[in-house]
Amino acid sequence: MATDEGVRLLLIGPPGSGKGTQAKQLTERYRVPHISTGDMLREQIRKGTSLGEEAKGYINDGNLVPDELILSMLRVRLSQSDSQGGYVLDGFPRSHAQAEALDALLERQGQNIKAAILLVLDDETIVKRLCNRRVCPECGRVYHLINHPPKTEDRCDEYHCRATLIQRPDDNETAIRNRLRIYHEQTQPVVAFYKEKGLLKAIDASREILRVQIDIERALEG
């Protein structure tokens, strides 16, 4: 079998740990697509597809979408031409079963994961971060009312957009704490899964964005 030279990275971490931000940096560095299962689901919801309608109730309550829904969507995405040379996968796997399913899928394709990057951040910091997060419903740009506020209150900075910012339904404190409970119960076994394989790179996500980025690059080079 030919050597797999694709750069396939996983980003693991609780909601609000900065996976989306770091994924953007990694995709630019390695010139591979950022595949976010959360973004894919939100797009399905926005379009009003049957998958989106089914997933909507789970997401708004802060619960995990069933594996079979995620996997069917992910198989299609990973088969597309732009992902053949690699990708940064954000938001998946979120359970031991999903990790095993991804492993089996990649093995059938003769592919493998280069590293699983774990962003580490405590719960209280996450709650503060997410309660102050706002998103543009038109262009998807993300703001933070304290750390990265819009120039005009409640309005997107993009000149072609200027839409009214919203708070995601799952960014209220009750839903956030439920998401964290689920993360600790179901996602932590994923950490053990990749640690056992020697692929895990744990990174302190409480530091400033650039510092986290540098730490990730050094861990991957090492």
Question: Which residues participate in catalysis according to the annotation?
Answer: 19, 94, 133, 168, 179
Query: What's the CA gap between 123 and 183, in Å, rounded?
Result: 11
Q: What are phi and psi of 147, to 5 degrees?
A: -85, -30
Measure the CA angle with vertex 47, ends 46 and 51; round to 5°: 95
3-state secondary structure of 48: coil
Residue 78 contacts residue 8 (beta carbons within 8 Å): no
CB–CB of 139/165 below 8 Å?
Answer: no
* Alpha carbons 183 and 177: distance in angstroms, whole number: 10
Region of 117 (left: φ > 0; alpha: ψ -120 to 50; beta: rest) is beta
